[in-house]
Amino acid sequence: MTSNDVSNLKKLVAEKAVNDYVKDGMIVGLGTGSTAAFAIKKIGELIANGMKLTCVATSIQTEDLATEYGVNVVPLCDVDHVDVTIDGADEVDPQLQLIKGLGGALLREKIVAAATVTEIIIADESKIVEKLGTKAPLPVEVVPYGHNRTAFALKKQGCEPTLRKINGEVFRTDSGNFIYDCRFQSIDSPFFLESRINVIPGVVENGLFLNTASVVLISHPNGTITKMEK
């Protein structure tokens, strides 16, 4: 499958999510990543055509992109809830459990998701897995202070943690933290692992998004979209 094919699949599922779930007057959460970017563009078109929406962003990158498309973004603290958020995922299992965070925005994505009534996850079929951790590493956001000791504790959970770097420079999140991408053979007990990771001093947040998704829309190479929901 070419990059254009993948891009078309992302566009297809993103636009369907917006058309099906975004309604006039809503407070909408804007996800981060290449798939969510197509949803933001579509939302910009709806606003240009007169739809009244209040939007919150899951990253500085998303806020900048939304501004380019004419979407006004307000701080999350200025709203008391979010009606619907449309975001991508790095892995989705049959129970709608997710790994997110390869785009580096997992902390804000999880905060917005927790404030959201209906979380819509959009992805192409390559993101579907039988068991989490079999394709993507698990991103874990950590504070810079003593991060190597935090990584040592992460490794004791059965993974190989790698400090994320971009062009040789340590990647920093919007909150100024580091990310360790933790490679597991598979994650057999995600809820147990989440609790083990979260009690490690220095861990800010992890990329396990459990019992978060309301609906998952999956695009397929033949142009169809399937819906997964509990």
Residues acting as catalytic residues: 109
Question: In sequence order, which ranges of the chain are alpha helices (DSSP H)?
Answer: 3-21, 34-48, 60-68, 106-114, 147-155, 190-198
Encoded tokens for 34 = 């290449």
Crossing angle of helices 34-48 and 3-21, in 10° steps, is 50
Cβ contact 28:85 at 8 Å: yes
Integer-rounded Cα Rg, in Å, for the chain is: 17
Encoded tokens for 54 = 């209040």
> If we measure between CA atoms, which residue out of 12, 32, 66, 5 comes closest to residue 226?
12
The CA distance from 34 to 127, in Å, is 13
Q: Is the dihedral angle over the CA atoms 50, 38, 211, 199 positive or is it negative? A: negative
Encoded tokens for 223 = 């142009």
